[in-house]
Chains A and B, each alone.
Chain A
Amino acid sequence: MSDVLLFLNALRDAVRPRRLLIAALLIALPPLLGIIWSTAAPREDALPSDIYDSVAFGLVFLFTLPILAVVYGTGVVSQEIEGRTILYLLTRPFPRWRILLAKFLVCVLVVFVIPAISILLLAFTQFNPARLGEVGIYQDLMVLAVGAFTYSALFLLIGTAIPKPLTYGLLFVFGWETWVPRLPGQFVRASVMTYLRVLSSRNVVDDTPQPQGNLLLSLSAPPQVEIPMSQAWLILLTVAFVSLIGALVIFSVKEYAPREDSE
């Protein structure tokens, strides 16, 4: 029962009105961009599948998903510390790892649901709703779920292990994930997004110059190395579970008491 209460209370905290407003903006931006793009560009230069692929990967996968994972994943512990409410949680005869797990599940749920709604709305604006299955939307949702789980676990680990986790998380998203895959050689294998792209099986761009949406398309460029899908699954799930277990262990043994002003 306590796990359920923890989960529900964490969920309620995650969907506070102010947060919902930000979530609504994140949800609405991709479909709006899709509508504007398809309206403004000539039909032959802006096929619905191109628009969908570019916006979905350039904005939702590369921005919304990791940014939500950073905020919620690192916030699982840091919010409790900053709010000092962690004192109530850690002085109860309740296993610490279960506290963290309940809150982590909420984090994964939120990090998945917001981009998922966004992707669905984007797809509705570009495709016939009856054809969503044919254009691979459900596979994208699956990739989103894996991405939400992996990124959230990774940022949960950062949040439990080091101070100022939000800063390091943002550096990881906008530094590491954005630029390391662009380095020559095998660096592309060091990015979580690389493996998510492999799972999606979408050939987002080809080598020919694109007249529209160059920034989004270039950001969503696929990896230049061949990675089997089984390897992508293995690596993503390994990163996710190792991070999650690491976070649970660290949270169980580390001290999290906030410093008193008087000390």
Chain B
Amino acid sequence: MIELQNASRWYGQIIGLNDVSCTIGPGLTALLGPNGAGKSTLIKLLTGLIRPSTGIVHVLGEKPFANAKVLAKLGYCPEIDNFYEDMTGREFVTQMAAMSGLAGTALKQRVDDSIERVGMTDRCDRKIAGYSKGMRQRIKVAQAILHNPDVLVLDEPLNGLDPLGRREMTELMVSYAQAGKCVLISSHILYEVEQLTENILLMQRGRLLAQGSVRAIRELMDRHPHHIAIETDRPRELATALMAHPSVLGTRLDPKRESVVIVETSRPDAFYSRLPEVALASDYEIRRFDSPDNNLESVLRYLLDNKKDG
């Protein structure tokens, strides 16, 4: 649905996007990266607000810049908190619906539906100027989904929402993804993205750092040791025993928790399959084990660090 081939975008002497190639298909994909990573530039390219300086950007097989055919099938929820403050939420969504080619009863129906889907039915006739950040967020999402787009681009869609709102919005995005739509979410709230999807695009300094599932990306990071924390009754002995395994690069005791051994391994799968054997051989009591590296924040941090080092 979305395809970039060696797409770059310059703002004068500053590069916003640097030779990015990727494809994004149906389902939910998260766009991650620190400020200035190029996420906003990528989103502007996809939503037809700007053109690439070089390379190709295609959405639904066409160049999106000022392309009504593409924009008719694309919904965009910008990060900005700006609105026509004197309008009511309903008036705003109605104008956006009219500009999407809807008219008459279809327009009214779609406006009502989208407002209901974001939980704003009871508040949509108030002026936007009096809306909270969460209400503004909901109305932004309402205008993005009202024409039932095939591609939905959401820039920080969970900002300002309370826990209930986040859950409702998350369910909405997941339902769109499950319906075969392409949903691209830009976010810096990593733990929420992690709960939403495994598919991520990682960006830094205008470049695409990695694309794929969190796990797949983690597997690509062979150079970087994977950390596994094991809580046991005899941590020192276990640490020594594990060192004999070829996939283990090192072991140490967790300075904060005496009963925890931290294992560094370059081949986590091999280690996990070997661990029961080691535990049973000397009858270690394995109370708990987990890998802090499996969360998205770690992946992002490691990848960014690697890039700097490289």
A binding-site residues for B, Cβ under 8 Å: 1-2, 5-6, 9, 12-13, 16, 83-85, 87-96, 99, 252-253, 255-257, 259-260, 262-263
B99 to A2, Cβ gap below 8 A?
yes
B36 to A92, Cβ gap below 8 A?
no
A2 to B74, Cβ gap below 8 A?
no
Q: Which residues 90-110 of B sit at the A interface, judged by CB distance below 8 A? A: 91, 94-96, 98-101, 103, 107
Rounded to whole Å, the gap between the CB of A235 and the closest CB of chain B is 33
Chain A residues lying within 8 Å of B83, measured Cβ to Cβ, are 85
A257 to B50, Cβ gap below 8 A?
yes
B84 to A93, Cβ gap below 8 A?
no
Main secondary structure of the interface of A (DSSP, over half): loop
Also in contact, A90 and B103, with CB within 8 A (given A1-B98, A262-B35, A263-B11): no
| B48 contacts the other chain (CB 8 A) | yes
Bound complex: CA of A91 vs CA of B76, how far in Å? Answer: 7
Also in contact, A91 and B98, with CB within 8 A (given A13-B84, A85-B83, A259-B11): no
Stretch at the interface among B39-47, B264-272, B293-301: B39-47
Nearest chain-B residue to A255 (Cβ)?
B50
B binding-site residues for A, Cβ under 8 Å: 11, 14, 16, 35-36, 40-41, 44, 47-51, 65-66, 68-72, 74, 76, 78-80, 82-84, 86-87, 91, 94-96, 98-101, 103, 107, 143
Chain B residues lying within 8 Å of A9, measured Cβ to Cβ, are 84, 87, 91, 95
B99 to A257, Cβ gap below 8 A?
no
**A93-B69, A93-B100, A262-B35 given; 19 more Cβ-contact pairs under 8 Å:** A2-B98, A2-B99, A5-B98, A6-B95, A13-B86, A88-B96, A88-B143, A91-B47, A93-B68, A93-B99, A96-B66, A255-B50, A255-B51, A260-B40, A263-B11, A263-B14, A263-B16, A263-B40, A263-B41
A94 to B66, Cβ gap below 8 A?
no
Nearest chain-A residue to B67 (Cβ)?
A93
B48 to A90, Cβ gap below 8 A?
yes
| Candidate in B14, B70, B76 with the most chain A CB atoms within 10 angstroms | B76
B84 to A256, Cβ gap below 8 A?
no
Bound complex: CA of A260 vs CA of B78, how far in Å? Answer: 11
Rounded to whole Å, the gap between the CB of A133 and the closest CB of chain B is 39
